Chains A and B, each alone.
Chain A
């Protein structure tokens, strides 16, 4: 398949059920979300020629609801970073109505801002991850880039909910999301984190303040919420994320799938050489960081997990005062598409990491945080499992826009 946007194009996207709520919606997918028999290689030789045996749960649900699955876009290797990603282009070039992407550090939010579209990362544990070929199990969520918030809500209603085959989901207490009924007025208080905003440059600050003004005019109160531990989000994400990646990537061993190095003398050699060949340098650097924590300094990984617990606790108490937390979704100067080292990648996603670490849902709204003609995206983060509220809020904001 030789297409600049798509790695694989589905020649027969018409679904078996064509009258579901997602009827005629054209959806593209990241190639790390399993669709039976599609070349789902997650952008890596570790999964060269890999074709899943069955659909991911979310894919099954999309098909059941009548969506047209168009094919697989391109993605950064194993979902680490977005270099060579094309999901946002499929949206901005109107090839797709929506894209399913995996959000581990903020990819869906970042790419939606790039596309000038809507992005939504749901709460960790609200959408099944069965069939997600991932790298950082405790952070990654199947997320969406959409052309409207209504669409975003409909897709979420379709794909969310209990999956008895996914052990990482909430066992008890997962809300039935159902249809998003467009309740208004649920969000009144919005928080901003001064420690987060301190990192922005003048132009970014200005753009963000303009966006806040817009919200104030719609009756939202803005409140400053100090969060002294904020700088920890990045180091905790990187420590825990890389360690999980090192552990999870153990499955890429060239035995059941993936590229096998030729002519190796023994078992150990086969692993060493195959894994040398199959991983690109960026993801390999990340895996080595993880190997350092996994094998040489496990205490630090455990400590990072403690700090993660602390961050989650502090975030929870922050949400006692405010309904949502606002920030831009991306920096003006850090280009994730060009990020070539692990620290570049982390710098580019600095603003979106908190929701990934705490498993919180986050929406990215287009057209509000404008640095010149560059859309930085307005990130709206809510407490864990407040997905419905966030989606209602997103819809409410567009409706008022049209009224204005």
Chain B
């Protein structure tokens, strides 16, 4: 077939009835009616039904009988209207079908590890969903997983999301500049992925955590408006929705201020969400950091629901309730939320045994005080410790009505009290279904503190040390003055998720040095750390600022994906491992030797180096500790294994390895669907576990 003559499977319409067309694509599903055989043929434009009738050539019918799911085939046929009553509304081409006159199998497919088809061949029939397929199996066969129309749609929409942003940026005169991937450590503060240099033995590049330094240097260069779809790398602890590499839409502009960026980013974000059919309410409100913390306990406030904090510290100035008294003595805070009308869902038992004893301690809180409003009175296990005046004060302050539940956190630390109550607020809202669906609440969080206090009485940058302060007349030696500084940084937050953040940068060498002094860095130390960068600011740097948006997270939100892995073509799994390529993997001793990595650690054992103690190594890699009394027995066994190896290698053979007498068929058997085990549904799966927390198996912390 000539490629120009090909019609897309999804591009066949009622108007085409009577036309002869040529299709190429994959067999999505087949239905054999004896005399008639139907298949769904799929390409990335869509799905069309092809019918092989008895009247066709014998050869073609024979070939058609042999078709299986995911065969790649070519069809010539005539478009015909379907008989009334046989239309299939689950596919866009459901009113027509193609009567095949010729069929070529381009390539057959092996049996599938999971079903790919997402469209029923008969209107109303149920099809399997990938939700039941183990994610690692999907990742191992990612190229098959990406054949599924829903996954293709995700990647196509992701492309459209980025494209819509590019258009806005380019309309405003931004140009795309690429910055290096092999570079030096940048100041984001997460762990770097490092790459050894062969040419400079023993020295390493770092993969960028962001293009931060380079984009600021581009501003110094006078390339006034820069953007990049940048891949960034951070070697952080594992989290379910975190990838070791991720994509940022990174921007920087010179001679602008916050208002320029707010307007543009709002436009970009709004257009990105339009790809998912979502209209964000505009303009995006702004909320100072202090207010976000005071009302929601988070710098990523989820504003889709109420449950705003109520400050109550002053109500208890003279309290005789010992716990509050102690906390107030230490200058602590008492804050709470009023969960309106939920006293049925939040029983005494739930409040005391689940929230106070388990959930709140899980958030790092020391405890929780709860009260329920019943018959115009507060009811709680401790309400008797409060005077009538205090009780009245609580009722008025929280606006209590019958059926309300108060959840109150008291802690000597304001930061901890707000953090714990913030997590509690989100937890309660989720549990009680108080978060409305299809509601979008974007917000700019502004006026961050420039510095956070450290435990040793100094300060550390809240963002990074190049963020501009709101005033420059500060004393770098005066910690309380420093802690009163606000930064010119801003985060864009949507429904409690941070989509991105940025700041106006410091463009003045003296101000920059004051910041370093505040951070406890001498000019020499600063030069050593950021020398090349600081030097650039001695040559007339322009005022500038920028922002970066996390594309993976934006795309996942726009497309309501369950995980960011669903909007990335080839992601790593939750353990930062790629089941498809098996990366990361061991490298050969020779490779390490060539990079001169073998002797870096001095006395320490290095990868590839001959171990001092085989037993210790085996114990570590197989995570089996050895009891003192069994060490010699195990040593004998390992010696024997070495001898066995020596003995076996003498016997030559070129026979194929046989790992089992029955070759493993690691495939779903025909007619079976992956399904969740009943133990998952009813919780029995946890019944044998030595330790459980909520719906999860509990293990020790990953790091101490």
Residues of A within 8 A of B (CB): 49-51, 53, 124-125, 137-138, 164, 167-171, 229, 232, 235-236, 238-240, 242, 246, 253-260, 264-273, 275-277, 279, 281, 284-289, 291-297, 300, 302-310, 312-313, 341-343, 358-359, 384
Do A306 and B625 touch (CB < 8 A)?
Answer: no
Kindly provide the distance from the CB of B669 to the nearest chain A CB, expressed in whole angstroms: 5
A-B contact pairs, 14 of them (CB 8 A): A53-B677, A167-B664, A169-B662, A235-B648, A239-B641, A256-B685, A271-B623, A284-B626, A285-B634, A288-B624, A296-B618, A305-B658, A306-B654, A384-B661
Query: Of B665, B667, B690, which is within 8 A of A257 by CB?
Result: B690
Chain A residue numbers with a CB within 8 Å of B375 are: none
Give the contacting residue for A266; candidates B661, B684, B687, B704; CB below 8 A.
Answer: B704
Measured CA separation A53–B682 after assembly (Å): 11
Decide if B637 touches A285 in the complex (CB within 8 Å).
Answer: yes
CB within 8 Å of A: which B612-642 residues: 614-615, 617-627, 629-630, 633-634, 636-638, 640-642
B666 within 8 A of A: yes
- If A137-B660, A167-B664 touch, does A268 touch B623 (CB 8 Å cutoff)? yes
Known: A167-B664, A296-B614. 19 other contacts (CB 8 A): A138-B659, A138-B661, A169-B662, A170-B662, A232-B651, A236-B648, A238-B644, A257-B689, A260-B690, A269-B700, A272-B625, A275-B624, A284-B624, A284-B630, A295-B621, A303-B653, A310-B653, A341-B633, A358-B661
CB closest chain-B residue, reference A294? B622
Best-buried of A235, A257, A285, A343 by chain B (most CB within 10 Å): A285
Measuring CB to CB, which residues of chain B are less than 8 angstroms from any residue of chain A? 614-615, 617-627, 629-630, 633-634, 636-638, 640-642, 644-645, 647-649, 651, 653-662, 664-667, 669, 672, 677-679, 684-685, 687-691, 697, 699-704
Please tell me if the beta carbons of B688 and A49 are within 8 angstroms of each other in the complex: yes
In the assembled complex, the CB of A279 is this many whole angstroms from the nearest CB of chain B, namely: 7
Q: Which of B624, B653, B679, B702 contacts A307 (CB 8 A)?
A: B653
Contacts of A275 in B (CB 8 A): 622-625
In the complex the two chains form, is B655's CB within 8 Å of A287's CB?
no
CB within 8 Å for A291 and B660 given contacts A255-B697, A264-B700? no
User: Complex formed: what's the CA distance from A51 to B648 in Å?
Assistant: 40
Cα-based distance from A266 to B690 in the complex (angstroms): 16
Instruction: Give chain A residues whose Cβ lies under 8 Å from the Cβ of B653.
Output: 303, 306-307, 309-310
Inter-chain contacts of B640 with A (CB < 8 A) = 289, 342-343
Looking across the interface, which residue of chain B has its beta carbon closest to that of A295? B621
Docked CA distance A102–B43 (Å)? 50
A164 pairs with B672, CB closer than 8 A: yes
Assess A359 versus B662: contact at CB under 8 Å? Given A287-B624, A288-B618, A342-B637: yes
User: For the complex, what is the distance from the CA of A304 to the CA of B650, rounded to whole Å?
Assistant: 11
**Within the complex, which residue of B618, B649, B699 is in contact with A270, where a contact is CB–CB below 8 Å?**
B699
B669 and A171 within 8 A (CB): yes
- The answer on a CB contact under 8 Å between A307 and B633 is no
Which A-B residue pairs are the 10 nearest by beta carbons? A276-B625, A359-B661, A305-B657, A309-B658, A285-B637, A257-B688, A260-B690, A271-B623, A138-B660, A309-B655
Give the distance to chain B from A398, nearest Cβ to Cβ, in Å: 29
Return chain B residues, CB-CB under 8 Å to A51. 687-688
Q: Is the CB of B645 within 8 A of A288?
A: no
CB–CB B634/A168 < 8 A: no
Please give, as numbers and ranges, the residues of chain A lying within 8 Å of B702 by CB-CB distance.
266-267
- B704 contacts which chain A residues (CB < 8 A)? 265-266
Q: Among A242, A255, A281, which residue has its beta carbon within 8 angstroms of that of B633? A: A281
A167 touches B644 (CB 8 A): no
Check if A309 sits within 8 Å of B657, measured CB to CB: yes
Cβ-neighbour of B665 out of A53, A137, A167, A232 (below 8 A): A167
By beta carbon, the residue of chain B nearest A276 is B625
Complex: how many Å from CA A120 to CA B679? Answer: 34
In angstroms, Cα B629 to Cα A281, docked, is 9
Contact A306 B656 (CB under 8 A): yes
Q: Please indicate which of the listed interface residues A229, A289, A313 has the most CB atoms of chain B within 10 Å of its own CB.
A: A289
**In this complex, what residue of A is CB-closest to B682?**
A53
Of all chain A residues, the one with the shortest Cβ separation from B677 is A53
A-B contact count (CB 8 A): 198
Cβ of B691 to closest chain A Cβ, rounded Å: 6
The answer to whether B622 and A168 touch across the interface, beta carbons within 8 angstroms, is: no
**A353–B615 alpha-carbon span in the complex (Å):** 28
Contacts of A253 in B (CB 8 A): 623
CA distance A288 to B634 in the complex (A): 7
Contact A305 B659 (CB under 8 A): yes
> In angstroms, how far is the closest chain A Cβ from the Cβ of B448?
33
Q: How far is the CB of B644 from chain A (nearest CB, A)?
A: 6
Q: Shortest CB–CB separation between residue B622 and chain A, in angstroms?
A: 4
CB < 8 Å neighbour of A286 from B637, B657, B700: B637
What separation, in Å, do the CA atoms of A296 and B619 have in the docked complex?
Answer: 12
Whole-angstrom CA separation of A399 from B418 in the bound complex: 85
Is the CB–CB distance between B630 and A300 below 8 Å? no
- Report the minimum CB–CB distance from B146 to chain A (whole Å): 25
Question: Measured between alpha carbons, how far is A107 from B644 in the docked complex, in Å?
Answer: 23
Q: A50 to chain B: which residues have CB within 8 Å?
A: 688
Q: Is the CB of B649 within 8 A of A53?
A: no
Known: A268-B623, A272-B619, A288-B622. A242 touches B641 (CB 8 A): yes
Contacts A265-B700, A270-B700, A296-B614; is A246 near B622 (CB within 8 Å)?
yes
Shortest Cβ distance from A356 into B: residue: B661
Taking a contact as CB atoms under 8 Å apart, the answer to whether B690 and A258 are in contact is yes
- Chain B residues with Cβ below 8 Å from A236 are 648
A304 to B704 alpha-carbon distance, docked (Å): 41
Contacts of A279 in B (CB 8 A): 624
Interface contact A313-B655, CB-CB below 8 Å: yes
Residue numbers in A under 8 Å from B620 (CB-CB): 272
- Provide the bound-state CA to CA distance between A81 and B688, in Å: 26
B672 contacts across to A, CB distance below 8 A = 164
Question: Is A312 a contact partner of B689 (Cβ separation < 8 A)?
Answer: no
A343–B629 CA distance with the chains assembled, in angstroms: 19
A328 to B194, CA, bound (A): 61
CB distance from B267 to the nearest CB of A (A): 45
**Given contact pairs A267-B699, A288-B618, A309-B658, A164 touches B669 in the complex (Cβ within 8 A):** yes
Complex contact B636–A168 (CB within 8 A): no
Smallest beta-carbon distance B380→chain A, Å: 36
Chain B neighbourhood of A286, CB < 8 A: 637
Give, as a whole number of angstroms, the nearest-CB distance from B636 to chain A: 7
Point out the residues of chain B lying under 8 angstroms from A137, CB to CB.
660
> In the complex, A358 Cα to B677 Cα: how many Å?
33
Q: Is A256 a contact partner of B688 (Cβ separation < 8 A)?
A: yes
Bound together, the chains give a CA A240 to CA B641 distance in angstroms of 11
Contacts A260-B691, A264-B700 given; does A171 touch B665 at CB 8 Å: yes
Cβ-closest chain A residue relative to B684 = A53
**Cα(A303)–Cα(B665), bound, Å:** 22
* A247 CB, nearest partner CB in chain B, Å: 9
Neighbouring A residues of B633 by C-beta, 8 Å = 281, 285, 341
**Distance (Å) between the CB of B486 and the closest chain A CB?**
39
Q: What chain A residues lie within 8 Å of B642 (beta carbons)?
A: 292, 297
Give Cα A254–Cα B624 distance, bound, in whole angstroms.
12
Q: Which chain B positions have C-beta within 8 A of A296?
A: 614, 617-618
The reply to whether B649 and A300 form a contact with Cβ atoms under 8 Å apart is: yes
Contact B701 A168 (CB under 8 A): no
CB-CB under 8 A from B644, the residues of chain A are 235, 238-239, 289, 300
**Distance between Cα atoms of A309 and B658 in the complex (Å):** 5
With A and B bound together, what is the CA distance between A240 and B660 in angstroms? 10
Q: Bound complex: CA of A253 vs CA of B618, how far in Å?
A: 16
- A232–B658 Cα gap in the complex (Å)? 15
Q: How far is the CA of A266 from the CA of B689 in the complex (A)?
A: 18
A235-B647, A266-B700, A289-B637 known; A255-B657 Cβ under 8 A: no
User: B648 touches which one: A124, A170, A307, A384 (CB < 8 A)?
Assistant: A307
Contact of A297 among B645, B656, B685, B689 (CB under 8 A): B645
User: Beyond A260-B691, A284-B630, is A302–B641 a contact (Cβ under 8 Å)?
Assistant: no
Chain B residues with CB below 8 A from A307, complex form? 648, 651, 653, 655
A15 to B87, CA, bound (A): 51
